[in-house]
Amino acid sequence: MNRRFVLLAPALALAALLTTAAAPHRRAPAAPPPLGDSVRVTITTTLGAIEVELDHKHAPLTVENFMRYVDGRRYDGESFYRAMHLAWSDQEGQPSGLIQGGVRDARKLLPPIAHEPTTQTGILHKAGALSLARFAPGTGRADFSILLSDMPGLDAQPGDPNPDRQAGFAAFGHVVSGMDVVRRIWEAPRSATLGQGVMKGQMLDPTVKIISARRAPAPASAP
């Protein structure tokens, strides 16, 4: 027998054993906690933090979709990129319009979800509401809007002959703190040339970065 092989074999076996023992044990990532009737999320941007409460009880599909992006940290490093300005309200000079943000990196996108109309959820497009952006109904993914004013035209209009307006948009939560940050984003500089169609002139330049989106603690119950 080759003496060199006899001497090396135990040494190689010992080295393999030590390497295996030293290798760190990799645990599978913990599953996110289940969602209750509502869930809070803090969206931290370069202009401040916005805390939102999502209505899982009434808009389960839309909230679960949003939370997949949150728990997967897919919003991190993305941006608010649009500020739509409508006519100013007569009430105390409050702004009218919305801001829109979401995921621009196509590699982070998940499949689109079924549409949940306001006639089904009962969640209306009031000031501070979150609404899932979409093209046609059933194409919504990661992008969402936050309203600065009531916009009932985004609610489902069952009697409208236009199928798009019949469906409306899917509202799924509201801002509980940070509307001042929403307004700062809305007031950020916009480009006169970026954007196509109705979105021309509404694109923020530069965009406002989303640093992170994380679950936030639920408020303490009153005694």
One digit per residue, the tens of pLDDT, for the chain of length 223 reads: 444 434 444 444 444 444 445 555 566 567 888 899 999 999 999 999 999 999 999 999 999 999 999 999 999 999 999 999 987 655 556 789 999 999 999 999 999 999 999 999 999 999 999 999 999 999 999 999 999 999 999 999 999 999 999 999 999 999 999 999 999 999 999 999 999 888 899 999 999 999 999 999 988 764 5
User: Which element (helix H / strand E) includes 68?
Assistant: helix 60-71
SS3 letters across 123-135 = CCCCCCEEEECCC
User: What global pTM score does this model have?
Assistant: 0.84
pLDDT for 13: 47
Phi and psi torsions of 44, nearest 5°? -95, 125
Provide the pLDDT for residue 51: 98
Rounded to whole angstroms, the Cα distance separating 141 from 155 reads 18
Task: Quote the pLDDT of residue 2.
Answer: 46
- CA–CA distance, 145 with 165 (Å, rounded to integer): 17
pLDDT at residue number 95: 86
Residue 138: predicted pLDDT: 96
Q: What is the pLDDT of residue 101?
A: 98
Q: Quick count: other Cβ atoms within 10 Å of Cβ 103?
A: 21
Both structure tokens of 48: 């401040």
In which element (H, E) is residue 102 found?
A: strand 97-102
Domains and CATH numbers, the chain: 38-216 (2.40.100.10)
At residue 16, the 3 state secondary structure works out as: helix
Going by the DSSP 8-state scheme, the letter that residue 35 receives in this structure is P
Half-sphere exposure for 176 (CA within 13 Å, toward CB): 16
Sign for the CA dihedral angle at 136, 140, 144, 148 comes to positive
Which residue in this structure is represented by tokens 């997949």?
68
